Amino acid sequence: MDIKFIQFQSHGDERGSLVSLEDNKNIPFTIKRVYYLFNTQEKVRRGFHAHKELKQLAVVLKGSCRFMLDDGKEKIELLLDNPEQGLYIESFVWREMYDFSDDCVLMVLADSYYDESDYIRDYQEFKELVSA
């Protein structure tokens, strides 16, 4: 599976760091939605879905968490712990998130509004769709 991390330019000086995200510039789509996960529990595993159309970019703003990405052929585990990079997640990729640090703030940029009909929440259905 081709894992795409996008490295952001960080404007850092002695006052701190600043990262700017601009759609169709350093973000490879038009941003329609932003959501973020926080107060996540360390032992919790979440996600467990893929999308038919949606493309997303995940950025850990604080702390760390792990992603498991699965394109139906291969499963890859990744640690996200750097607010200067984003993990691009294409459609038809099953994702699970876990090992959230206490302070984790996970921001996700999405190219569409929330639409439950775009979700594939059944792993068997996902496997059938990607192998078709």
Give the binding site for ligand TYD (CB under 6 A): 33, 35, 37, 46-47, 49, 114
Q: Which residue has the tokens 């949606």?
A: 54
Smallest gap, in angstroms, from Cβ of residue 37 to ligand TYD? 6
Measured from the CB atom, is 10 or 90 closer to ligand TYD?
90
Shortest Å, Cβ 32 to ligand TYD = 10
CA separation for the pair 14, 108 (Å, rounded): 28
Q: Look up residue 53 and give its two tokens.
A: 């159309």
Is 5 or 114 the residue whose CB approaches ligand TYD more closely? 114
Contact 8, 84 (CB under 8 A): yes
Catalytic site residue 49?
yes
**What are the beta bridge partners of residue 56?**
89, 110
CB of 19 to ligand TYD, least distance (A): 22
Nearer to ligand TYD, 77 or 115 (CB): 115
Smallest gap from residue 102 Cβ to ligand TYD (A):
17
| Backbone phi, psi, residue 101, to 5° | -70, 160
Q: Which residue is nearest to ligand TYD (CB)?
A: 46
Contacts of 56 (CB under 8 A, 6+ apart): 88, 89, 108, 109, 110, 111
Catalytic one among 33, 49, 55, 66?
A: 49
Q: Which amino acid is at 24?
A: N
Catalytic residues: 49
